Amino acid sequence: MMFDVTLPVYKIKIEMDPNAPEEVQGFTKFATWRDVAGSKYYNEGTTQYLPNGTYHLSCTGTVNGTKYVFYVDITVNGSNKTAYAYVKE
């Protein structure tokens, strides 16, 4: 697999939104994140390294046999950040 990298990149830690449904609280096994437009893919998991820009990412995960779609919206502007994954109801 090949990646285009734009430097500098910033560490983005992804955590579950505290307002997410109780059944997904504590979930951390995020699959490969992708741009919602479907044009770009990112690493799986709770850490991303992203250049400056605005991102709307999604991934799927299964919790107790139920499949969920998780989303992260973040604007990276020159620093490391924490982003919160949420589930659309």
Summarised one tens digit per residue, pLDDT across range 40-86 is 999 999 999 999 999 999 999 999 999 999 999 999 999 999 999 99
With cut-offs at 50, 70 and 90, classify the pLDDT of residue 89. Answer: low
The residues pairing with 61 across neighbouring beta strands, listed in sequence order, are 68
- Alpha helices, H only, the chain: none
Give per-residue pLDDT as tens, 19-38: 999 999 999 999 999 999 87
State the pLDDT at residue 88.
81
**Pairwise CA distance, residues 35 & 33, whole Å:** 7
**Neighbouring residues of 89: CB distance < 8 A, sequence distance ≥ 6:** 21
Residue 1 reports pLDDT greater than 90: no
Instruction: Quote the radius of gyration of the chain (alpha carbons, Å).
Output: 13
Domain ranges of the chain: 10-87
Give the pLDDT of residue 20. Answer: 94
Q: Per the structure block, which two tokens stand in for 39? A: 């044009």
Tokens coding 6: 């734009």
